[in-house]
Each structure stands twice: as C-alpha cells, then as structure tokens.
Homo-oligomer: A and B are copies of this chain.
Amino acid sequence: MFVRNCWYVAAWDYELEERPIARTIISEPLVLYRASSGALVCMEDRCCHRFAPLSKGRIEGDDLRCMYHGLKFAPSGKCIEIPGQETIPARAVVRAYPVRVKHSWVWVWMGDPAQADEALIPPAIGFEDANWTLRGSSINYDANYLLVNDNLTDFTHLSYVHRNSFGASEEFALTRPDVKLLPRGVRIQRWIVAGIRDDAEASTALQIEGRKRGGPGLESWQSYDFLAPGILLMRTRSFRAGTRDRFKGHEEDLDNVPALSDDFTSQAVTPMTDNTTRYYFSWGPRKGEGSERSADQMLDLAQRAFAEDKEMIEAQQRIMNVRPGKEVLTSADVAPMQMRACLERLARAEAPAGT
C-alpha cells in the first residue's frame, strides 16, 4: 500500500552533482539530474525505446540523452531527438515527475502532477538553517517502510533497542506520549523525566556536550510530527528538575526558558519497493559554542543507533515473510496504528471508485 499523492524524499540535494542519479520510489525507477538551467528534473528511469536506464545517460544542457541508442529527452519527458531518424513518434515520451528542492532534500511527487501542491512539503529543517547545526546521512532497509514508520512512531523501543547507544532508560517504555491526529499524520508529545540512563554503559550518549547536564532529575520535552508518507520532525529540549510541573499543559511557553540541551532531527522514510526502504536523517543541536563538535558526535551516535533499528526491523521482516499473522497490539501501538490508518485513508482517497 503506497500513497501516490505526496512528496517523497528522493535524495539529499548535495547528491545531485554532475551526473544523473538513479532512485526507485514505490517500485518506480526514477532518474534525477540538474539541468544546465539549474532546475532539477525527475523522469522515469526507463527509455521508452528499449528500456535502457536514462540514469546512465548524458546531460546535454537541459536535456538528457539515453546512452544506449542516443534518444534525447526534454525535461518534460518528451523525446526530442532520435539519431538518424527524422520523425519522432508521438508515443516517444517518458513520464516526468514534479520535483522540488527544499530543506536540503529533493522531493518527488509520485501521484497526479496536477495535484502536486508545494504547500504539502513537510516543514523539515535543512543544513542551511540559521538556528541549527545539523549533520545528515542515509541508510537502506531490507524491510517494508511501514515497519520503519511503526518504529518511529513508538519510542517504547528506545528502552530496549537503544538502551546502550542512546542510553535510554525504561521511562520510554513505561510511560505513554500524547498522540494527536493531524490531517496528514500524527503529533506525538511527551515529558520524559530521567529518560537517559546514568550508568557506564550509556556513556556514549552522555559524552555528547550539553545532553544530560542538570543531573539525574533532567526533564525533557519531546515533540514531533510524523507526516505522510514517513516524515519525522522532532525537537527535544532538556530542562532542570521542576520544569515539567511548571509548564505542563502550556509547553508553548517553554520558548522563554533556557534549555540545557535543544536539538532537532528531520527524518524521511522512503519506500523503494515493497521490501526495501531508504531512510534519510539529519540531527543536531542549536547553533552556538561547540555545536559543530556536538553535531559530529550526534551523527556518530545516530548511525550506531539506527544500525540497531535496522538489525531488529530486518529480522522482524524476515520473520513476517515466513510466518505472517495477526499482531497482539498494546497501548504503545496507538500512534503506529493511527499513522497506518492515515496512510490507508490517503491511499483510498486516490483509488478510482470500485478498486
């Protein structure tokens, strides 16, 4: 089940340099390239002639030439040259996809181009942002994207999967966040008191500057939106003990309180095929003294932690492949299930009647 009418993250913008790149999103092979005009182009990665990959093609000005038999395509997807032949058949066209660069990501609209509304691009934060020092990377999963979405909408797993990497305490498993439905996703918010463990095994996380200052009573306000198809935008701030009691219910006033730590992460889950997923993420602290070094440490930590997720989720997928079944849900599954319902609702709204 894939939603088509939404923006999928296809790449970091810095990945689009001189050569075209190949991507697969919801099982459709895509080629992306930067035209000489500077505009980004996204087309079907499959020449209409004999199905060679256009991603092995040559950028010629704004156009892309297939390097198998030389057909040339305009950014519109229309074939504009067949070497050695005058006439170009009307059928000689490949699909072009709406594409935008925003917040350091390249977004592709996989559905009806007429409905490609730029306002639907989620408000991620890019590297150029004035307030945050961010680092980013990406990894691939051999798993369906919904399993990654589930993981990101239920932080119960932090207490187990990331016990040593993020140093998460059992608080993440023992307490439940507030979950609120949004038009295209869910908002998840919680206070975590003593969410980071204090012992030696959790030392990696503790070593990062500014995380955990404030001692054992540290209180964190964590708030994120998780939006279709799989975009997580989360800010986490830590405060001295007592802050929670003072601000509970009107956390918007926290903006006036100096935080002990303050970080932001943007994450994007992009289904490649039914069984493979690409996961883009950035993370980092507020800009300031030492934030460059912290951002480096945080990226290292994130890569270690996300490798833990990858191991668990790919194992989960393998088991589901051989022994599918019906889950026994818990109260921690509220957000994952609301998110799945949201995607199903969006997908159903796209389907022609009767399908």
User: Residues of A at under 8 Å CB distance from B?
Assistant: 27-29, 45-46, 48-53, 56, 58, 65-71, 79, 82-85, 89, 91-92, 150, 154, 156-157, 159-161, 170, 173-176, 311-312, 315-316, 319-320, 322-323, 325, 327-333
- Alpha-carbon separation in the docked complex, A311 to B22 (Å): 15
- Of listed A46, A67, A160, A176, residue having the most chain B CB within 10 A: A160
The 8 Å CB contact of A84, one of B50, B161, B176, B325, is: B176
Q: Let me know if B332 and A85 touch, CB within 8 A.
A: yes
- Of listed A49, A68, A92, A176, residue having the most chain B CB within 10 A: A68
Number of identical monomers bound together in the oligomeric complex = 3
Q: Let me know if B160 and A316 touch, CB within 8 A.
A: no
Q: Which residues of B contact A156 (CB under 8 A)?
A: 69-70, 83-84
- Alpha-carbon separation in the docked complex, A135 to B59 (Å): 37
Q: Which residues of B contact A332 (CB under 8 A)?
A: 69, 84-85
Give min CB distance, A170 to chain B, whole Å: 7
Q: Which residues of B contact A174 (CB under 8 A)?
A: 83-84
State whether A312 and B56 are in contact (beta carbons under 8 Å apart), knowing that A27-B322, A159-B70, A330-B49 are contacts in the complex.
Answer: yes
Q: Which residues of B contact A46 (CB under 8 A)?
A: 319, 323, 325
Q: Which residues of B contact A175 (CB under 8 A)?
A: 84
Q: Which residues of B contact A49 (CB under 8 A)?
A: 327-330
The 8 Å CB contact of A89, one of B27, B50, B79, B328, is: B328
The 8 Å CB contact of A173, one of B70, B315, B316, is: B70
- Alpha-carbon separation in the docked complex, A65 to B170 (Å): 13
